[in-house]
Amino acid sequence: MSSLHGVVIADFSRVLAAPYATMMLGDLGAEVIKVEQPGRGDETRTWGPPHFEGEATYFLSVNRNKTSVQIDLSTRAGREQARELIARADVVVENFKPGTMKKFGLDYESLGRDDLVYCSISGFGSGKGADLPGYDLLVQAVGGLMSVTGPGPQEPVKTGVALVDVLTGLHACVGILAALRHREATGQGQLVELDLLSVLLSSMVNQSAGFTLAGSIPQPMGNRHPSIAPYEVFPTIDQPIVLAVGNDRQFRRLCSVLDVPELATDSRFLTNPDRVEHVGELFEALSARLRTRPAQHWFETLTPLGVPCGPVNDIAHAFALAESLDLKPTATIGDMTLVANPIRLSRTPVTYRLRPPKLEQ
């Protein structure tokens, strides 16, 4: 039996953050009924290329283990159909613009069910930020993530995926599971609220704490780390490689393999704070040696010695690496190969029961 067997989720979400959350819960065994706009469905059904047999892979990436029902919430009949669905649900998830579900009489207060777990996700909260559009790129910009990402202050860069949406989806899962545990103990549901901006500020961890505790306002450092060195991308004879040296012991081993043991006793590089202070000089010294061999040579030589390093892989090589480590990074549903859920449970493993639903006409 799955962990969430018997839990029914009325899923009014679209795009990424909330659908990611409901997919994760579906993988854990919940029954997820996805409510979609008649004739159009989730916006991401049209977000392509790429496609798989005519379906947008964006939509397919976050909607397995769900069934779909088309409901027009703008009509009285549609709203009644939605209420009937919610009446048999344990959890409601929605990420409309704040106030939308209230307009339909489907918000937490209007439903008036004391045992209902109701999760609302917005861009900037339901208060003064309610009218701001909650797009991941926008939140990365105004939330500070782009200010610390990129080669320099004049070249802010977004992450290569909608990372804030994914993080928000994961936080939503935590909140929903906590609320379900509370309901199990007390019989009472509750409202679970998340907004992308707050999730981002929390997820920036050390960068955020540097500001709240020390007033430090970080700047983009390219691939360097503000507090660790060497911890960045280096050139080799064929492709870039990452070194992630977290302590002095690892640094001494690195210097030995590179045949520059003198660097380990150099006063500029003796301790991690010293290396951070002289990171530019350290980069030049290490690059001169790393450029003499291929990335795979350094990976195979340094890794057994406990020096964290690895080539900068494209996604195909990343999946190949996971396969080689027997991590089983994919899951198959019929003729469809999707990314596997990364949670491994020994007694109640995740299951892959349903392909992402088609929008039936």
The torsion angles phi and psi of 203, rounded to 5 degrees, stand at: -75, -10
Q: Kindly list the distances between the CA atom of residue 254 and the CA atoms of 235, 277, 299, in Å, as whole numbers in the listed order.
A: 15, 19, 11
- C-alpha distances out from residue 203 to 130, 146, 152, Å: 21, 13, 21
Half-sphere exposure of 340 (CA within 13 A, CB side): 16
Residues 151, 221: Cα–Cα separation, whole Å: 6
Rg (CA), the chain: 24
Closest CA to 246 of 307, 196, 198: 307
165 is catalytic: yes
DSSP letter assigned to residue 66: E
**Alpha helical stretches, state H, the chain:** 17-27, 57-60, 76-87, 100-103, 108-111, 136-142, 163-186, 196-203, 205-214, 248-257, 262-265, 272-277, 279-290, 295-302, 315-324
The active-site residue, picked from 90, 136, 165, 195, is 165
Is the distance from CB of 327 to CB of 318 less than 8 angstroms? no
Asked whether the beta carbons of 8 and 33 are under 8 A apart, the reply is yes
Cα–Cα distances in Å, from 27 out to 30, 35, 131? 7, 18, 33
User: Peptide bond before 49: cis, by omega within 30 degrees of 0?
Assistant: yes
Look-up of token digits 């430090």: 216
Please tell me the distance from the alpha carbon of residue 151 to that of residue 220, in angstroms, as a whole number: 6
Taking alpha carbons only, the member of 316, 356, 360 closest to residue 66 is: 356
Residues recognised as catalytic = 165
